[in-house]
Structure 1
């Protein structure tokens, strides 16, 4: 496979004025074939465009998630240095090491454990909304609510003191920004890692009832080093608050642009309606907009194409979640549809570990924010908002609102 002028370069740009929709070029590629050739940083790769094919291929053992393989189609032009192997977390590893490390942190994300957190998550949301209502208007919903909401919840689960946020919040944002030079992002990861390594050391001496304290047993048993545990902490802290915060802000904007759908959510006290709305917003927005990236590790044929070992393979879940063969009128936000089949959290061994927490957090926010501030509205025109095209997790940089 070679790159030619006819091969489109990925990632692609969203259409102006359509901040919630995938790039139109992606939609066109989906119409053409389930498996197409694209370029990524000047190198060729395969793209899986359709829902059914992504569900089939994502769990395939002939495809690797190990970002340290040569020519892996990473999220940046510069590959991760080998020195980062132990600090990036299990998400970019293959089994059996991926499964071994994932099992160590799976219990706190179990549905029953997360449900038990619901009252604490509700308390965080209520306190932040109290602060909003007592403060000036207009206010940036991102900095005043979405970011602290996402960060406080993941800090609660991990056992990270929220008052230490100045020590890691800026570094976490740099880590997520794929447009920054690799060295800047690596140094940000190292700084967060050092902070969490010290915190893990404190928990070895005085363990609590939190995820990081739970890892101390594996450290004492020799199954993890302190730095391994800190690396897991970096992954969960950064991913946990980035995804939740962006989803809260972008969902709010999408609902404000669809007032009939917002009314359905705001006027209902049925938990099932709220839960269904969360699934539809997860489908419709799909904030992981730079695709899941993998590499073929064994030659095999799919859909009449020979996929060769070493080739990159991309899974853009944003267009899979807009596949018209699965979701009727996929470009329409419809909170009454059954969107539970979406693959925003991926499928297979690498399905998102934190999805139960994300669901509960979003259910709490969406059942609280719009009912407590029923006249919430944008304070600036839509075309004045700036969107996160340059990071792996899509969202809006700021969202000035009033009521």
Structure 2
């Protein structure tokens, strides 16, 4: 099952309308990704909350919508004419959440995650007592995926791997749990650029530890970026392996993934590797991701980008989805998708603006304004080599124009000038 569209009415801050989720063509073996971008306050996470409501967890949406708001939301799915409707702060009993409609939860499995929370150290000796996580425990943006017990669930997975290897030590193919663990470890390795493995430390009490970058570390000793990744990514792997317990390849089963700001705690080098690794790890997934990172945006080669924009009255409109293209730089993402035109710190930006104003005056009046322009250019040139290249290039262009007696040339926006 895949979600195809959401319609919204009286759902602040959005204008009434709809948002479509086209399929991705020509990307076999990669998850379908829908990337939500826009400045703070444009409602990106509110849309995630609406999708989560359709998939079995109403709490995030109810926390964001007053009962008297008159909000009406519909979420459509591709199979069986699937429809979920939300009105007056509650779901329409005629169209309950999709797991209930399907009556076969295997066909509608969804998980959520956020880059904000960190994996917490915990006792791992109660892994055998863990219960299968319920829908609302799998779909959360507030912390540990699957309710409490990610460490315990990882321990259970690791012990299951040991049992598989004991049962078939000479098997040519890895068992289902072994394959899940290997894929998780490989994904972490691809994102961080360092070897990663989960190991069990023996002692009075068995304890799960991580081997990362050649060191054996407790989870509390890991970098925050890695603890953030493990909190939702490892959680997804163990939850999917539990849910699809009869599948030989659980991570290749269809699933819906909701992810809020995966770039939190991550260095840009890691940010640019997250989506490509996820798309390979969960090849049959449909993913909805909110991000403010140009590195995450530019890393998407196969998927759709949904841009949220606010008008002067504060009403948010969602542009038609733009197909992600291969080879876009993060600077393209900064300028064209995230609408950030500034390259420098605010103080430098203001001085550049003042210089450009004086440059316009110098073109209009070859008098004292020329001296003013040169003073501002000289002051700016003391800031950095980048600023010097930018400003002195414009001054040189002015000098050539003045010498030739030609009219002022048509100026390109300064942000298009290569530094």
Interval containing the TM-score (normalised by the shorter chain): under 0.3
**Which structure has more strand as a fraction of its residues?**
2
**Structure that is richer in helix per residue:** 1
The structure, 1 or 2, with the larger RCO (C-alpha pairs under 8 Å, 6+ apart) is 1
Quick check: which has more Rg, 1 or 2? 2
**TM, length-normalised to structure 2:** 0.24
TM-score between both structures, scaled by the size of structure 1 = 0.25
